[in-house]
């Protein structure tokens, strides 16, 4: 029977991680999956900085927001970088760099899920500090940090995060987001 792709169904933005390192071949597959994503005119606007060196990783973690203290357990963080000039810039504000990087990041997340990892993209970090630690040019855009790690204990989670970890996912009802044959509901 047709079904939703199992990794899409299984993926969650979980936070309880172990310190267990991630093998190099696994990392290679994650990045390999990322670059298979489609992009406007095949511009491939993504750049990924894979950070696993312990000293560099520690420095990078200083950029995490307080709410993302759970990510301090991660043995490897993939930093997704782009620039609007790396991709199509069309009329009506259609700059495709972020869109295409999002497609590539989701490939990392789904491949990570397949590999038994938590792969959790976050926005809660200080981009200037990330750039400084990794030597990323100031004019580029650090759009997300993909926090990677094998499932582990909940020690680093806040009370609220511990509850979320076991909750069903919440989504708007389809009736609110899906329209048929025309735009419905005004502005
Ligand atoms: C762009 C983006 C930014 C996010 N930023 C954070 C973050 O800073 N910290 C965090 O714990 N989760 C973050 N999340 C995870 C979301 O909170 C999570 O995906 C959402 O609550 C839905 O839960 P689910 O992914 O388990 O279905 C982010 C997700 C996305 C896509």
Whole-number Å distance between alpha carbons of 59 and 105: 23
CA of 125, closest atom in ligand 1? 8
State the distance from the centre of ligand 1 to the C-alpha of 120, rounded, in angstroms: 7
Q: Is the CB of 64 within 6 Å of ligand 1?
A: no
For residue 62, the SS3 value is coil
pLDDT in tens, 89-98: 999 999 999 9
The structure's pTM equals 0.97
Residues with Cβ within 8 Å of residue 94, at least 6 apart in sequence: 88
Whole-number Å distance between alpha carbons of 5 and 35: 20
Residue-wise DSSP of 155-180: TT--HHHHHHHHSPP----HHHH--S
Ligand 1 pocket test: which of 7, 102, 110, 122 has the largest number of ligand atoms within 8 Å of its C-beta?
Answer: 122
For residue 64, the SS3 value is strand
HSE toward the beta carbon, residue 154, CA cutoff 13 A: 10
What is the percent of the chain with per-residue pLDDT over 90, rounded to a whole number?
95
State the distance from the centre of ligand 1 to the C-alpha of 20, rounded, in angstroms: 22
For residue 54, the SS3 value is helix
Q: Is the confidence at residue 186, as pLDDT, over 80? A: no
Q: Is the CB of 29 within 6 Å of ligand 1?
A: no
pLDDT in tens, 50-68: 999 999 999 999 999 999 9
Across residues 10-35, what is the average pLDDT? Answer: 98
Whole-number Å distance between alpha carbons of 30 and 12: 17
pLDDT for the residue numbered 185: 79
pLDDT for the residue numbered 155: 84
Spatial CA neighbour of 155 closest among 73, 98, 78: 73
HSE toward the beta carbon, residue 31, CA cutoff 13 A: 16
Q: Is the CB of 12 within 6 Å of ligand 1?
A: yes
CA of 15, closest atom in ligand 1? 11
Contact at 8 Å (CB) between 79 and 142?
Answer: yes
Q: Is the CB of 69 within 6 Å of ligand 1?
A: no
Residue identifier of the C-alpha nearest atom 21 of ligand 1 = 13
Residues with Cβ within 8 Å of residue 66, at least 6 apart in sequence: none
């Amino acid at each position: 029977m047709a079904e939703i792709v199992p990794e899409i169904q299984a993926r969650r933005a979980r936070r309880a991680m172990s310190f267990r390192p991630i093998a190099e071949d696994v990392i290679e597959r994650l990045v390999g999956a990322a670059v298979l994503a489609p992009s406007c005119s095949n511009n491939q606007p993504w750049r990924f900085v894979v950070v696993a060196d312990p000293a560099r990783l520690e420095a990078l973690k200083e950029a995490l927001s307080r709410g993302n203290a759970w990510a301090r357990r991660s043995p490897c963080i993939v930093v997704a970088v782009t620039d609007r000039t790396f991709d199509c810039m069309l009329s009506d504000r259609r700059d495709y760099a972020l869109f295409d990087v999002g497609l590539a990041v989701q490939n990392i997340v789904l491949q990570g899920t397949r590999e038994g990892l938590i792969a959790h993209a976050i926005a809660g970090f200080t981009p200037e500090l990330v750039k400084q630690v990794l030597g990323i040019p100031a004019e580029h855009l650090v759009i997300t940090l993909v926090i990677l790690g094998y499932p582990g204990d909940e020690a680093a989670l806040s009370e609220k995060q511990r509850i979320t970890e076991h909750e069903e996912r919440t989504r708007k009802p389809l009736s609110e987001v899906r329209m048929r044959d025309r735009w419905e509901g005004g502005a």
